[in-house]
Structure 1
Amino acid sequence: MKCALVTGGSRGIGKAICLQLAADSEYHILINYYKNKTAALETLQTIEKTGGKGSLLPFDVSNRESVVDALETFQNNNPEAVIEILVNNAGITKDGLFMWMKPEDWNSVINTNLNSFFNVTNHLIQNMLMNRYGRIINIVSLAGVKGNAGQVNYAAAKGAVVAATKSLAQEVGKRNITVNAVAPGFIKSEMTEDLDEKELKKMVPLNRFGNPEEVAHLVSFLTSKKASYITGEVININGGIYS
């Protein structure tokens, strides 16, 4: 059983990626979530309605013990399963001006957006190296490439994942493992629903926010064999706001 794991796969961009991978491939989709089981089940039901296969895999990406325990339990219960695709999508924001930022707002964002990359990828990369195949896609952000006032913590975490993407790609390329990052701009989701879309879209040459499905199509391509010569790249998908 070949599997694709999407962290934070129950809502928003993560959900769109789960649905697109299920539609475009034969992979068994592992939907990771932490608290919102209802949303995760809805995503799974949508996959199954369209003829795909999947299962829920709850764990806290920011907690290494939680990650390792969940992934080892899954592997023990499914000895024939091989996780070939990893999409590191889970993330949070705790926005605010840096001078007033509380340590807990810094640490929680770093843990969930950056340390999660280590926790999940480090555990799964061993088998990818042994199997000489893997696709790792890290969802970063416009903020991590361009910077964004009020998001120093978020930009620091995503920028670090950009650097990690480029470095890991160089380490594992000889084993036929590609590592790429996708950097969305303003995408319609729960994370952006409080933003002033009417005002902000004026900054975007395409004059609109993107849709989660547009990000999902790009991720699906990068997980496919069609993208086998693309690695170490950060691909912006932001309507031309920063290219």
Structure 2
Amino acid sequence: MTGRFEGRVVLVTGGAHGIGAATVRRLHAEGAAVVVADLDADAAARIVDELASRSSAGPSASTSAGSVSAVVCDVRDRTSVDAAVAATLERHGRLDVLVGVAGGDHPHPTLLDGMDDATWAAGVDLNLGGPARCVRAAAPHLPRGGAIVLVGSVNGLQAFGGEDYSAAKAGLVSLAQNLAVSLGRRGVRINVVAPGTVRTRVWDDRTPDKFVPLYPLGRIGEPEDVAAAVAFLASDDAAWITGVTLPVDGGILTGPMTAFQQLDVD
């Protein structure tokens, strides 16, 4: 790995599992001092222990590239988000990159089949309100050259079901476009990655590989696929990119042609 993030401090929400954990590992390997923000304190501690063992800085280092620490954070709660940012600043004295991964969905009725207002509001708040809270808390502290990367979904770009989740992820696209203008005046970039099906714990009791035929590249994604895209957008390699949504989707957004080919029609 190159040291693209040496001397930089990165806060990753939802950093204890799946895409978030892969992102923490990737940025740490590239030299970042990473703060793992997650509701799951035990899982966050395991990531810290794992990565601290690879770093000469160790888990108790106050500040240095390659150090790693954890903080409990609930992106649905403004006080919790503000505290996570404050803890990062207290520990490291700076914050260079925010990666917003925390979010998710769970099975529930569709909008037309009885989804209630509370379920709708909770889904939108977690997946759109949460990232907005994190940006609001972190942005004032990001220096010129700082970056924000939010994890959206192909659900925000095409119809794949899950109306509350999908609407929230579509909202991230607009949020990034709008904030790119105001943040750009300060030299701070904001972008979104939009993954397709990724092999994470949400699939533990299901079979994600059933979707493989829909992917032109012949497989579903791995968390590391998304982490690589996040690292690119957060790095100076993307210094002239802001306000964009980058699909990391194995080609599923080619949609109609892929589905047509599955019909084996000449």
Answer yes or no: is 1:40 the counterpart of 2:40: no
Q: After the TM superposition, which residues 29-108 of structure 1 pair with which residues of structure 2 at under 5 Å, given as runs? A: 29-34=34-39, 36-51=40-55, 52-75=66-89, 77-78=90-91, 81-95=93-107, 96-99=109-112, 100-108=114-122
Q: Residue 37 of structure 1: CA displacement?
A: 1.7
Q: Residue 103 of structure 1: CA displacement?
A: 2.1
Say if 2:37 and 2:84, in contact at 8 Å, map to a contact too.
Answer: no
Say if 2:12 and 2:34, in contact at 8 Å, map to a contact too.
Answer: yes
Larger radius of gyration: 2
**Which is richer in helix?**
1
- The alignment partner of 2:216 has SS state of coil
Q: Which AA in structure 2 matches 1:49?
A: S
Q: Could you tell me how far apart the structure 1 residues matched to 2:51 and 2:94 are?
A: 20
Q: Residue 73 of structure 1: CA displacement?
A: 4.5
Match of 2:258 in 1: none
Match of 1:139 in 2: 151
Say if 2:88 and 2:95, in contact at 8 Å, map to a contact too.
Answer: no
What do residues 194-213 of structure 1 show as CA deviations (whole Å, max 9, x unaligned)? 44334211111112111101
2:195 to 184, 187, 192: 184
Say if 2:12 and 2:24, in contact at 8 Å, map to a contact too.
Answer: yes
Q: Could you tell me how far apart the structure 2 residues matched to 1:7 and 1:164 are?
A: 18
Q: Which AA in structure 2 matches 1:233?
A: V
Say if 1:94 and 1:154, in contact at 8 Å, map to a contact too.
Answer: no
TM-score, L = length of structure 1 = 0.91
What do residues 115-167 of structure 1 show as CA deviations (whole Å, max 9, x unaligned)? 11221111111122xx3231100100011111222x00000111001110111
- The structure-2 alpha-carbon separation of the partners of 1:65 and 1:147, relative to structure 1 and needing over 3 Å to count, comes to same
What do residues 34-72 of structure 1 show as CA deviations (whole Å, max 9, x unaligned)? 1x2221111112221222311111121011122123333
Q: Which runs of 5+ in 1 are unaligned?
A: none
User: How many aligned positions are there?
Assistant: 236
Q: Which AA in structure 2 matches 1:217?
A: A
TM-score, L = length of structure 2 = 0.84
Say if 2:41 and 2:71, in contact at 8 Å, map to a contact too.
Answer: no
Q: Which runs of 5+ in 2 are unaligned?
A: 1-6, 56-65, 255-266
- The alignment partner of 2:98 has SS state of strand
Say if 1:137 and 1:219, in contact at 8 Å, map to a contact too.
Answer: yes
- CA-based RMSD of the aligned residues comes to 1.6
